Amino acid sequence: MSISKSFGVLTLVLGFIMTLPAMADGHAGKGLKSAADFEHIKDPEERGKAMFVEMGKVLTHPRCVNCHPKGESPLQGESMQLHQPFVVRGEGGLGAPGMRCITCHMHENYDAKEMPGHPVWHLAPASMAWEGKSLNQICEQILDPERNGGKSHEQLIEHMAEDSLVGWGWNPGKGREPVPGTQKGFGELFTAWINGGAHCPPAL
């Protein structure tokens, strides 16, 4: 066998081994497990923690983190670099006077310029910062009414499952990678997590 031929076979074998985990989760291609995928974990606390780790694939994705930064400015792109041009949160997350988010961000994505858009495009409050936080910290933050905008468990479910600004993450327009799964599937996973006792993954 020639060197190039054996290399080809090796690549094939490696490629197959690497797709095995995706095949095992039952949702190959979509990238997010469903609530049913966790039913085999009998201990409710362990099940909850595992579910939150799965939801972390969405929560720590650049599409979400770019609007939940720790500083006063949004981030952008897959590498979550500082927003260019420089803008700040301003009152209510709407941007500084004269530099409002909606000066540039339209009601919907503008694919010709790869510009993201939404009718209420604005920055999450500093209390909801996820940038650089662990899953444990993000989990505690989301559950804390002092820092989550006074949201009850019911309101959190509604926000995750229905809010169209959250939904933008699955429909970010040209040039951006969407968050994994669907908002519906994510909403069902979040609902199951809340109803199962809302267990956070351990602090590292």
185 binds ligand HEC (CB under 6 A): no
136-175 residues in contact with ligand HEC (CB under 6 A) are 141-142, 147-149, 151, 159-160, 165-166, 168-169
CB of 22 to ligand HEC, least distance (A): 21
Backbone angle region of 146, left / alpha / beta, with phi > 0 → left and psi within -120 to 50 → alpha: alpha
How many whole angstroms separate alpha carbon 170 and alpha carbon 6?
40
**200 touches ligand HEC (CB under 6 A):** no
Q: In the range 26-45, which residues lie near ligand HEC by CB under 6 A? A: none
> What does the alpha-carbon distance between residue 199 and residue 192 come to, in Å, rounded to a whole number?
11
Please report whether residue 71 would count as binding ligand HEC according to CB under 6 A: no
**What does the block give as tokens for 96?**
């500084």
Residue 61: name the closest of 179, 164, 174, 176 by CA: 179
In whole angstroms, give the CA distance from residue 105 to residue 93. 13
Q: Which of 35, 50, 128, 189 binds ligand HEC (CB under 6 A)?
A: 128
Judged by CB under 6 A, which of 32, 50, 101, 139 binds ligand HEC? 101
Q: From CA 43, how far away is CA 54, in angstroms rounded?
A: 17
Positions that interact with ligand HEC (CB under 6 A): 58-59, 62-64, 66-68, 74, 76-77, 83, 85, 87, 89, 93, 95, 99, 101, 103-105, 114-116, 121-124, 128, 141-142, 147-149, 151, 159-160, 165-166, 168-169, 176, 179
